[in-house]
């Protein structure tokens, strides 16, 4: 189907599941994951109603942002290498994948040099897989408080997670529930220096469950653009 058709179907699906939690489509931020997608495809999505683009490759994002003419907010959703932090701060409006104090420190220094305030989400590892990005839920609260108190050029706006790649609904939902409960705890402690405005949870294969469990930001690629062509 076309991007326009996909978007029409998607908005209806999001609205249906958001309604189960007393919300609507308007309460859910959609991040269009544009990995391998062309600038033309991004512009079609923008005309449909997309205003946030998520990229996990810095070089790819650089090329697209310079060639896309429409106004968009750009989010880094992949791992950030410390030696690329300056470019990330310059290019993106939000970094969703902060999971270490060292990375936060580097981003903060680069933002100070550029005279820029940058929004971040703290990525939570809810799979238990050691080599997967994200801070453990057991250590997340301390990390969030440290960043909020010490990183003057970073604004902590919420949490992000990537759920286990599984058809086990209960397992996937537990991932989202863990992050929601963590946000509820953290909000009480850091409300004066950080906010839990966003729970970025759910991708094309599990966003309905994520929305039911409290997500108000979903990262969707295939659901918008169709099947990805591997490169």
> For residue 13, is pLDDT > 90?
yes
Which residues on neighbouring strands pair with residue 218, listed in sequence order? Answer: 30
Give the separation between CA 144 and CA 101, rounded to whole angstroms: 9
What domain count does the chain have?
1
- Does any domain span residue 231? no
pLDDT at 190: 64
Q: Is 26 helix (H, G, I), strand (E, B) or coil?
A: helix
> For residue 28, is pLDDT > 60?
yes
Give the separation between CA 134 and CA 122, rounded to whole angstroms: 8
pLDDT in tens, 59-98: 999 999 989 988 999 999 999 998 999 999 999 999 999 9
pLDDT in tens, 199-211: 999 999 999 999 9
Give the separation between CA 157 and CA 159, rounded to whole angstroms: 7
> For residue 53, is pLDDT > 60?
yes
User: What string of H, E and C letters represents the secondary structure of 132-193?
Assistant: CCCECHHHHHHHHHHHHHHCCCEEEEEEEECCCCCCCHHHHHHHHHHHHHHHHHHHHHHCCC
> For residue 226, is pLDDT > 70?
yes
- pTM of the predicted structure, to 2 decimals: 0.94
Q: Indicate the burial class of 158 (C-beta count within 10 angstroms; 0-12, 13-18, 19 or more).
A: buried
Contact 127, 91 (CB under 8 A): no
31 phi/psi in degrees, rounded to 5: -100, 115
- Does any domain span residue 229? no
Locus of tokens 């269009």: 32
Give the separation between CA 142 and CA 14, rounded to whole angstroms: 33
CA–centroid distance for 93 within its chain:
11
- Does any domain span residue 228? no
> For residue 144, is pLDDT > 90?
yes
- Give residue 193's domain range: 3-222
Q: Which two tokens stand for residue 20?
A: 């189960």
| Mean pLDDT taken over the chain | 93
- Does any domain span residue 96? yes
Contact 131, 172 (CB under 8 A): no
> For residue 230, is pLDDT > 60?
no
What number is the average pLDDT over the span 159-186? 95
pLDDT at 153: 95
Q: How confident is the model at residue 129 (pLDDT cuts 50, 70, 90)?
A: confident
Contact 209, 202 (CB under 8 A): yes
Domain of 160, CATH number, reads: 3.20.20.10
The residue ranking higher by pLDDT, 113 or 129, is: 113
């Amino acid at each position: 189907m076309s991007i326009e058709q996909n978007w029409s179907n998607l908005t209806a699906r999001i609205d249906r599941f958001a309604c189960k939690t007393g919300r609507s489509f308007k309460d859910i931020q959609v991040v269009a994951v544009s990995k391998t997608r062309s600038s033309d495809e991004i512009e079609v999505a923008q005309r449909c109603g997309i205003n946030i683009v998520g990229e996990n490759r810095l070089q790819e994002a650089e090329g697209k942002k310079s060639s896309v003419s429409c106004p968009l907010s750009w989010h880094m959703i992949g791992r950030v290498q410390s030696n690329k932090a300056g470019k990330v701060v310059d290019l993106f409006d939000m970094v969703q994948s902060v999971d270490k104090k060292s990375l936060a420190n580097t981003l903060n220094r680069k933002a100070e040099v550029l005279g820029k305030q940058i929004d971040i989400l703290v990525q939570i590892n809810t799979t238990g897989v050691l080599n997967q990005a994200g801070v453990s839920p057991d250590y997340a609260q301390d990390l969030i408080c440290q960043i909020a108190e010490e990183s003057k050029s970073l604004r902590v706006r919420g949490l992000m997670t990537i759920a286990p790649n599984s058809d086990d609904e209960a397992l996937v939902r537990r991932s989202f529930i863990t992050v929601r409960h963590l946000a509820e705890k953290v909000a009480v402690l850091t409300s004066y220096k950080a906010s839990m405005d966003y729970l970025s949870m759910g991708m094309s294969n599990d966003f309905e469950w994520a929305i039911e469990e409290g997500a108000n930001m979903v990262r969707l690629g295939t659901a918008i653009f169709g099947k990805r062509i591997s490169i």
